[in-house]
Amino acid sequence: MDQEKIGRFIATCRKEQRLTQAVLAEKLGITDRAVSKWETGRSLPDASIMLELCNLLKININELFTGERLGMDQYKEMAEQHLMEMRRQEERTNKKLLSLETVIGYICSISFLLMIFAASFAVASTWWRVALIVAGSIIFIVGIAYCLKLEHDAGYYECPECGAIYIPSMKSVIFAPHIWRNRKMTCPHCGKRAYHKKVLTK
Ligand SMILES: [Zn+2]
């Protein structure tokens, strides 16, 4: 903290508010000598009166500590940093969901194929064959349904025609023809039908 800079800043703000050192001191219940000490950078305002001082000078605590007014630019910069952090967070979460989808998709498909293979070649009794095919199909259907839900929930789809980024209905995700994660759907914004790409953030 630059005590002298803060001091000069306090003096400037005090004058802007048309307060003398004595009047400011009186409002804060301290001596005008104390105010003079801040303004020459020899001491800092006591924590117990900082908020009240800021109110009187029409500044905020951040500005008091930096010794200058923070413009809208700096606030915007801070807001943008927060937005970027939120985007990164969203991207991480959606990536995890999609990796989970891939793992579940592979496990279900492989189990299904193994069970069908066993039913066709490895077991002799009809009862076992039927049981394996039924079990394999249930695992496959439940697994794929779960994968579709994960894919729907993670991120958005982007329309190549108008650039709209949106969340489609579960129904259109289920019934859309697809190549890997690109799904042929009707864009809710421009109404054109095309392969829409999966995107992780807006
Ligand atoms: Zn579109």
Tens of pLDDT along the chain (202 residues)? 789 999 999 999 999 999 999 999 999 999 999 999 999 999 988 888 888 999 999 998 888 888 888 887 877 777 787 788 888 989 999 999 999 999 999 999 999 999 999 999 887 789 999 999 999 999 999 999 999 999 999 999 999 999 999 999 999 999 999 998 899 999 999 999 999 999 999 8
d(CA 156, ligand 1 centre) in Å: 13
Domain at 3-66, CATH class = mainly alpha
Q: What is the dihedral of CA 192, 197, 198, 200, to 10 degrees?
A: -100
Any idea where the domains of the chain sit in the sequence?
Answer: 3-66, 82-199
Report the separation in Å between the CA atom of 145 and the middle of ligand 1, taken as the mean of its atom positions.
Answer: 26
CA of 63 to the centre of ligand 1 (A): 46
For ligand 1, the distance from its centroid to the CA atom of residue 195, given in whole angstroms, is: 10
- If you measure from the C-alpha of residue 69 to the centroid of ligand 1, how many angstroms do you get, rounded to a whole number? 44
Q: How many CB atoms lie within 10 A of CB 22?
A: 12
What CA–CA distance (Å, rounded) separates 53 from 45?
8
Residue 128: phi and psi, rounded to 5, are -65, -40
Predicted local distance difference test score (pLDDT) of residue 135: 94
Prediction pTM value: 0.62
The pLDDT value recorded for residue 186 is 95
Choose among 138, 141, 133: nearest CA to 174: 141
What amino acid is encoded at 41 in this protein? G
Q: How far is the CA of 169 from the centre of ligand 1 (A)?
A: 15
Cα pseudo-dihedral 53, 54, 58, 62, rounded to 10: 160
CA 189 to ligand 1 centroid distance, Å? 5
The CA 202 to ligand 1 mean position distance, Å, reads: 15
How far is the centre of ligand 1, averaged over its atoms, from the C-alpha of 83 (Å)? 25
Distance 201 CA to ligand 1 centre (A): 17
Q: How far is the CA of 155 from the centre of ligand 1 (A)?
A: 17
**What is the CA(178)–ligand 1 centre distance, in A?**
17
